[in-house]
Amino acid sequence: MNKIRKGDQVIVIAGRDKGKRGTVTSRVDDSHLLIEGVNLVKKHVKPNPLKGTVGGIVEKAMPIHQSNVAIYNAATGKADRVGIKTLPDGSRVRVFKSTGEEIKAA
């Protein structure tokens, strides 16, 4: 079970963008995430008339390793760790380690 999923609010805890907050847009692989507004790079793009793209310099979000982000707890206003709790019916849910409350699925 992935502790950080698509749609979660996360905060960057290490690297160039430390302190920035954003929403996970997708998981690239098992350990890398795409987060909107975080880890932006400038990329030079050649024009392609068949695809209808114009050339120039565009900003693009690049993947960031999941160890460099933590889930954002809106109740405390800080980064938090994620734990897994098994309910009596056998299902598993994600909970915040600090408060123990369930993380709402986005």
Q: Domains in the chain, start-ordered, CATH in brackets?
A: 9-79 (2.30.30.30)
d(CA 6, CA 25): 6
**pLDDT bucket at 74, cuts 50 / 70 / 90:** very high
| 3-class secondary structure, 68 | helix
Phi, psi angles (nearest 5°) of residue 17: -100, 25
> Is-contact 20 28, C-beta < 8 A?
no
Task: Check residue 2 and give its pLDDT.
Answer: 86
**Can you read off the two tokens belonging to residue 52?**
């209808």
Furthest CA-CA distance within the chain: 58
Confidence tier at 3 by pLDDT (50, 70, 90): very high
